[in-house]
Structure 1
């Protein structure tokens, strides 16, 4: 399936815990002041890639702990990322966790999922979610894997079971 990306980071240690493969999606409606990836905002920018090709790159790296969807705004390309997440979940040789960053809140995604099946299905495939828009006035370099203090690092599977956002304690990251 086609996906519009800004780029790929094949070996990242800053986009979540462990050794990660990061997909930077292209296109973002949030335009957060101070965004670290403003080049990803234009929905017509970046390049078209293929989720099968990206998956092949991911499974060739035996050192990876997981995959991160970043942006841009990953939840503007739910169908393509769902396709990739399903491939990752179907890869039985090893378990790779999946994290997504989003400018939406967990609660907003739950609401969107009521009318957008791919949004709901993508959320259900995630292990963790870093939610909320970047707020420059709340920026902190001391936060693990987040840019501003309003953003949450959420255990998605536990949150879905409990019906509310459950944050991961920073000491566990």
Structure 2
């Protein structure tokens, strides 16, 4: 059986938004388009981050900060918000730039389907951007080239590729 690569089954025409797309516009886009995540791109299709349906749900869930914790009968008072920073940032977000996840797990067009599937399962991802070699803006230093978005892979794309492969094998075996 031929090993499929991302370029063989990725969606090449990706629905994207700019960093200044408002949260209200994002909600509307998720409602009207059958996607679970939308890449945020800059100039020349540079991948800046990704906004998922889950990111937008943070806007409706109030961060739960315990004022104190009872430990073995003693009270320990809460004294920082570092652990809750992500929730607060997303709660206060007004644009894609504010709410997007910048630590994006990506693959290249040459990545094997097995590696992509493992990445998606291990990290509970529904969508994985496909980028030409380069680094995301949060990782880049100096003159390094940016990661340019060239496609996207969803769980649906992988299942479709598996089904197509099974049909091909079945047809070969019938001959």
TM-score between both structures, scaled by the size of structure 1: 0.29
Give the helix-richer structure, 1 or 2: 2
For the pair shown, the structure with the greater C-alpha radius of gyration is 2
Higher RCO by CA contacts (8 Å cutoff, separation 6 or greater): 2
Give the strand-richer structure, 1 or 2: 1
TM-score between both structures, scaled by the size of structure 2: 0.29
